[in-house]
Amino acid sequence: DARLTKKEHKEEKQKDKEPGIEKIYRPIPDEDFEIIPLGEDPTKGIKIDAGLPDLVKKQLEACLKQNDELFAWSAAEMPGIDPE
């Protein structure tokens, strides 16, 4: 049963308010994917659907690599955003 009791719900809300405890929600891919590396840093890559047609993959990869300077990998790289 996915429902929470009132006590459990209250505990969950309290966890959300506690400093240092931060929930990070990320989308979960529903298909297989592959990573297109951008630049020489192996940690910088973009996930794309592995089921895309080969021509689309090649075009998408070329576009991503051509525009890799547009991606921000941290808050410090985003103008106007506090890096903290």
What pLDDT digit, counting tens, does each position of 22-72 carry? Answer: 677 777 667 788 998 888 888 888 889 898 999 999 999 999 989 888 888
pTM (2 decimals)?
0.55
Q: 54 vs 2, which has greater pLDDT?
A: 54
The token pair at 75 is: 């808050």
CA dihedral 29, 31, 32, 34 (to 10 degrees): -60
Give the span between the Cα atoms of 61 and 67, in whole angstroms.
10
* pLDDT reported for residue 29: 66
The residue ranges of every structural domain in the chain are: 6-75
* pLDDT reported for residue 58: 94
Residue 83 has pLDDT above 60, yes or no: yes
